[in-house]
Structure 1
C-alpha cells in the first residue's frame, strides 16, 4: 500500500470515528439553511426580485464547504504536530506531498457529500431551490474553492499550537469573510465600500461561481472568472503553505 493510500485510509477512519465532528461538518451548514430558508420562505430580495433562497443556498453551501476545509486540515495538522506524529512520519520514506494529498482527497470527498446533502435538502418544497441547467459546473468551482481554503487551513494549522488557537484563528478568518462575501446577506444591500471589499476575498468568488452554476444567477463568464481567481488564490496560498509548513513545534 502506498503512503498516500495508507494516510488517506487512516484519515478516513479517524474522521468517521469522531461522531461529533462528523455530525457538525454536515449539520452546521444545514442549520443555517433551515433557519434562513424558513424565515424567508417565499420572499424575494428587494434589490433584485430574486427568491431569497437563490442567494442564501449558494452562499451557505460555499461557506460550509470552505469552513470544513479550513478547520479539517487545520486541526489535524496541529494535533499531529503536537503529538509528534508528523515527526514520526518524517522519519519514514513518506514525503510532504503524500501527507497533504491525503488530506486533500478527504476534503474533496467531504465537500462532494456536503454538496449533495445540502442541495438535496434545499430543493425540498419548504425551501424551494430550483437548480439551473448549469448545476454540474458547481463541481469544478467547489473543487477549486476547497483547494484554496485547504491551503489556508494548512497555514493556520502550521502556526497554531492548540485546538483553541486553531478555532480562534479560523473563526476570525471565516466568520467575517462569510458576512463580507455575501454568504448570509445579499451584497446588493451592503454599502458600496463593503461591496468593493468583497471582491478582494476568495469566498466571494466561491459564492459567485456556485450561485451562477447552481441557480443560473450569472453567466458562464462569471463561473470562469470565479474558477480563475480561486485557482490563483490556491497557487499563492499553496506556495505559502509549503513554505511555512512545520513538522514539529521544535523546528
Structure 2
C-alpha cells in the first residue's frame, strides 16, 4: 500500500468516526440556505428580476465548500503536528505530496457531497431553485475552488498550534470574505468601492463562477474569469504553503 493510499484511508476512517464534525460540515451551509430562503422566499432582486434564491444559493454553497476545505485541513495539520504524527510521517518514506494529496482527495469528496446535498435541498418546492443548463461547469469550478481554499487551510494549519488559534484565524479570514464577496447578499447592492475590494478575495471568483454555472446569472465569461482568478490564487497560495509548511511545532 502506498503512503498516499494509507493516509487517505486513515483520514477517511477518522472523518467518518467524527460524526459531530461530519454532521455540521453538511448542516451548516444548509442552515444558511433555509434561513435566507425562508426570509426572502418569493422575492426578486430589483436590479435583475431574478429570484433571491438564485443569488444566495450559489453564494452560500461556495462559502460552505470553501469553509469546509479550509477548516478540514487546517485542524488536521495542527492536530497531527501537536501529536507528533507529522514528525513520524516525515521519518517514513512518505513525501509531503502524499500528506497534502490525501487530504485533497477527502476534501474533493466532501465538496461533492456538500454540493449534491445543497443543490438537492435548494431545488425543493419550498425554495424553488432551477439549475441552469450550464450546471456541469460546477465540476471544474468547484475543483478549483476546493484546491484554492485547501491551500489556504494548509497555510493556516502550518502556523496555528491550537484548535482555538485555527478557529480564530480561519474565521477572521472566511467570515469577512463571505460578506464582502457576495455570499450572503447580492454584490450589486454593495457600494462600488466594496465591489472593488472583493476582487482581491478568492471567494469572489468562486461565487461569480458558481452563480453562472448554477443559476445562469451573468454570462459565460464569469466562469472563465472565475476559474482564472482561482487558478492564480491557487498558484500563489501553493507557493506560500510549500515555503511555510512545518512538520513539527516551533520551539
TM category (shorter chain) comes to over 0.9
Alignment-derived partner of residue 198 in structure 2:
198
TM-score of the two chains, using structure 1 as the length reference: 0.99
* C-alpha distance in structure 2 between counterparts of 1:50 and 1:173, whole Å: 30
65-74 vs 191-200, greater mean Cα deviation: 191-200
Tell me the residue number matched to 1:117: 117
| CA distance in 1 between partners of 2:46 and 2:250 (Å) | 55
CA root-mean-square deviation: 0.7
2:6 aligned residue: 6
Q: State the shift of 1:45 in Å.
A: 1.0
What's the CA shift string for 1:88-127, capped at 9, x where partnerless? 0111000100000000000011000000000000000000
Match of 2:126 in 1: 126
Q: Distance in 1 between matches of 2:250 and 2:140?
A: 38
Residue 218 of structure 1 deviates from its aligned partner by 2.1
How much has 1:250 moved relative to structure 2? Answer: 3.6
Give the whole-Å Cα distance in 2 for the aligned partners of 1:194 and 1:20: 36
In structure 1, stretches of 5+ residues that fail to align are none
SS at match of 1:93: coil
Query: What's the CA shift for 1:192?
Result: 1.1
Report how many residues are paired.
251
The 10-residue stretch of structure 1 (216-225 or 60-69) with the greater mean CA deviation from structure 2: 216-225
Runs of 4+ in 1 over 6 A off after TM superposition: none
* C-alpha separation in 1, matches of 2:244 and 2:232: 19
Does 1:38 pair with 2:38?
Answer: yes
Q: 2: distance between equivalents of 1:14 and 1:85? A: 14
Task: Identify unmatched segments of 5+ residues in structure 2.
Answer: none
Q: Distance in 1 between matches of 2:18 and 2:110?
A: 14
Paired with 1:35 and 1:245, the residues of 2 have a C-alpha distance of 38
